[in-house]
Chain A
């Protein structure tokens, strides 16, 4: 499998500011990474597919200008929540799919609270 880290593990920010979340694949070169969001007591909702060296692909209903994704290397993808609002408060998790049947390895998640 792949070992995936995220930073920070939690962050509190004021409404209107931007927050960057990093996702690192520590032992696997990831041309693709996924970003999910999870609200309390709900399942993971796929937000976007991060593609190394090209633009991210966003799921329907996810604002690409609000959730900026950059995948500049095979080991790092970043998600920037721009002009954050309280409704953006959530648990953000990234994952790395491995080869073959594509089981995914998840990061530990980042808890974002917007005040």
Chain B
């Protein structure tokens, strides 16, 4: 069955450093991979989408990579700030298929 793995342990980093979060998937051949941010008690917010033919995508301080051979996506936040503290969810998806299955998420805590 399809499986999505994200680090279940919280990631604690110092302000200004780069945070790197990992999303691994098995039994999947996604055409896209999406990343979302979720704050406690709120709905997720869409951040970035990367296609299978794109190796890397950037948006401001965010960078996502997508390695279909390793079946892995990495999500980077550079120059992290305490306001970046949240849970980050990944969701691979097939082409032409808008139903998303989310990973469990990784909680990021950025300390001043």
Contact = CB atoms under 8 A, between A and B. Distances in A.
A109 B43 contact: yes
Interface in A85-115: 91, 93, 95, 97, 101-109, 111
B43 A107 contact: yes
A106 B43 contact: yes
- 6 nearest A-B pairs in the assembled complex, by CB-CB distance: A106-B43, A102-B98, A97-B98, A43-B104, A103-B46, A93-B43
Contacts of B102: 43-44
B104 A106 contact: no
Interface in B35-56: 36, 41-46, 49, 51
A8 interface: no
B99 A34 contact: yes
Interface residues of B, number: 22
Interface residues of A, number: 24
B74 to A, nearest CB: 19
Given A42-B104, A46-B101, 7 more contacts: A43-B104, A43-B105, A106-B44, A106-B46, A108-B43, A109-B41, A109-B42
A21 B32 CA distance: 31
A103 B49 contact: yes
B99 A49 contact: yes
Contacts of B36: 106
